[in-house]
Every structure is written in structure tokens, then in C-alpha cells.
Structure 1
């Protein structure tokens, strides 16, 4: 941390003044530390549930899979994707486990459910209101915009293309590339 000011610091900083990040207490002395001028050149964004509602998209996909299977347990299927001890958040093995646990598994149905799940997961994705205008405004200011997500590249690109946001971003950092 770089400190500046006219008073020499004789003791370590013991606390930050609440809501005043430019004021430091050193013993009984108070120093005002001028902010360091910085130029912001880039803004990093998460993607799912930041730029668009991905939970609702997954619920729609789980509902359609349930419809195909003749079940009415979409939220239960979503729960399989949310398990910490299970497979990843995007792993189709969650669908397999759900089907097996509900006694409806077959290889043919599993393949069909995975295909439908992927289609429905992005079918109605749309940016939250004001997102596109905000991103374009940041671009007009000369800022570089990047996505940093735990999704894999294929899924990230698919979602960004579906929402029309893909061309706005300069970089995409994904779980499989980092």
C-alpha cells in the first residue's frame, strides 16, 4: 500500500475509518491520503444471473425434460444440478441420475432429454432490462469489456450469442480455459 501525506507515520495503521477509505488513523494522528488517480480501462462481468436470468432458463429446461418423461418434478431435477456432492452444474449426468432415480431411464430417452435440455436452456434467454444499453455505453467510453465465468466456453458463447451480447465483449474467460 502506498501512503502519502505530510505527517510521517510512526505507528502501523490500526484501522480504517468507516466509509472513508482515504482517511487513516495512526495512533492518535489522522492522515488524509489523497486518492491515487487511475484510469479504468476494462470492466469484467460475470455472465449467468448477472447479464440474464439463467436460473429461470434452467427451470424451463428442467420442466421440458419432465414433460418428455411424463413427470412433474422440474424443481427436483433442478436440485440435481445444484448438488454439491454430485456432478457439475452443467453436467448431463445429473439428468441421467434423475431419470435413474425416478425409474424412467433408457439410453434413447436420456439422449433425447439431454438434447431438449440444451435447447430449452437457451431458448428464452434475454438480457436483463438495460443491460445491452449499459454495455454499449461502456464500450462508447472506450472501455474493454470481458466475461469471466465458471461456464465452459461452448456454453458461454452459446448464451452470449442467444442474448445478442456476444459481439459486445472483447474477451471471454471460462472455466475450461483458465
Structure 2
């Protein structure tokens, strides 16, 4: 899920780095509060989208495929529909509304557009560089790991399988399982119960509002994945314990770096 933001700001995010449709997360001026976590974590809770795997780029690619199919509009315009509060961020009704607005809606075209969107989106989802090596190292240290995401179970498992990371996460917490969405504390507490873990907990995510702030409230070591935050201009004031600009930077945090393979 993402917060609704003005159309102008969406356009400003679309700065090319690999091709004209690839997004660059907006930088901010956060300074990490600590330089050391103090000890090896007993468990690490991860967000999924834009933390472990690319998502916004994939969403744009899927929007582009739909607008190419219907022969009108553009991906930025359709993407903005998904930011409306009338439906959840992954609800296909956004696509249906867009087709109706463009005057091209038919039941058959809507069904095809929705399936096309999902197929293209999953095809463009990939793990960030360093994810596999880093997760492998964390697992070798005996650190328990779970994913806490606002994506539904079916969507989350598809992405995890596509990125080949499902083997690292015995616990997956989604809103359809916990009954709550982040920043509510319920999903995080549920993850800890299912991991059967106490002690030092790290929380890694790209959202200050949905991960860093609730993580601090729960007493976790908070790690802000700045590389995945495409909507940093909406962030409330907050100071995470650590900031990483690459996923592999996790291993540079004192405690893990000292015993890195």
C-alpha cells in the first residue's frame, strides 16, 4: 500500500535510471540515530514490496501494458487511479474505473486488462541486488526471519516465489491473516508469536509510517530501506536507528559485519 499523493508529485518521481519508465526513490535528509545495533538480532522482520523486491517499477510496467492494450491514456494516469482511497492499492476495480472513464469498458476487455495487468506485474517483480546473498548469510547465522506485508497472502506468495525467497521465510503475515494493516502493531506481534522469538528484533522496511514508527513504538531496532521509498516527501518526522541504501548494507551494521563470511 502507498499513501495517496498529488499527480504532480507522481510525475516528479519518474526520473529514469535504467530506462525511461524506471523510478528512482526520492532522497530525504534522515540521519540514523545509532551507529550500532548493539548485538546480533534474534529475529528480523521484513517488509516485502520495495524492500525485498521491486514493486513500483513493476506496477508502472503493468499500467503501461494496459494502456497499450486499450489504445488510450498512459501509465502515469492509470497509476494514479491506484492511489485513490476508494479501493485498495491492488484492487482491479481501479482498472475497471479507468476503462469506463476512457469509454472503452466491456466485460471482456476489463477481464483481459485485469489478467494482463497481473501477468505483466509479476513478470517485472525481481529481488533487489544482494537480497539472496544477504538472506543466505542471515539464515546461516541462525537469525529467524519473517515477512510482514500489507499485500494479500496470494499476492505476497506469488512475489516471494517469483523472487525465489520463500525458503527464507517460514512466517508470512498479511492483513487477511492478522486482520490488521501496518502501522497497527498486531501484524508485528503476530509475526513474533509465530517465530516463537523474544529478545532483539530488527524491523526492515521502506516506509517510515508503516515500519519505522511502529517499530520504534514496539522497541525494535528500526532499519529504514531508503532505496525503496518512492514517496519520501510524505514521511512524518522520524529518526530510524539505521538507514540502508542497498539491501546488502544490512551486513555492514555492527554485529553482522564482524562475522560476515
**Does the 8 Å contact 2:57/2:124 carry over to 1?**
no
Maintained 8 Å contact 1:63/1:72: no
Tell me how far apart the structure 1 counterparts of residues 54 and 122 of structure 2 sit (CA, whole Å): 10
Q: Structure 1 regions of 5+ residues with no counterpart? A: 1-18, 21-36
**Structure 2 unpaired stretches of 5+:** 1-32, 179-261
What is the count of residue pairs matched by the alignment?
145
Shift of residue 52, structure 1, vs aligned partner: 1.6
Which residue in the other structure is 1:12 paired with? Answer: none
User: Match for residue 88 of structure 1?
Assistant: 88
Q: Which residue of 2 aligns with 1:3?
A: none
Moved over 4 A (4+): none
Structure 2 SS opposite 1:172: strand
Q: What is the CA deviation profile of residues 36-85 of structure 1, one whole-angstrom value per residue up to 9, with x for unaligned ones?
A: x876321000000001220000000000011110124111111111112x
Look up the match of 1:47.
48
Query: Relative CO higher for 1 or 2, CA cutoff 8 Å, sep ≥ 6?
Result: 2
Aligned to 1:63: 64
TM-score, length-normalised on structure 1? Answer: 0.77
The reply on whether 1:149 has 2:149 as its aligned counterpart is: yes
**TM-score (norm. length: structure 2):** 0.53
Give the secondary structure class of the aligned counterpart of 1:127: coil
Aligned counterparts of 2:39 and 2:134: Cα–Cα separation in 1 = 22
* Cα offsets for 1:85-128 (capped at 9, x unmatched): x2000000000111111111000000000100110111021111
**1:86-165 correspondence runs (5 A):** 86-165=86-165
Greater Cα shift, 89-98 or 124-133: 124-133
Distance of 2:39 and 2:52 partners within structure 1: 26
After superposition, the CA RMSD in angstroms is 1.9
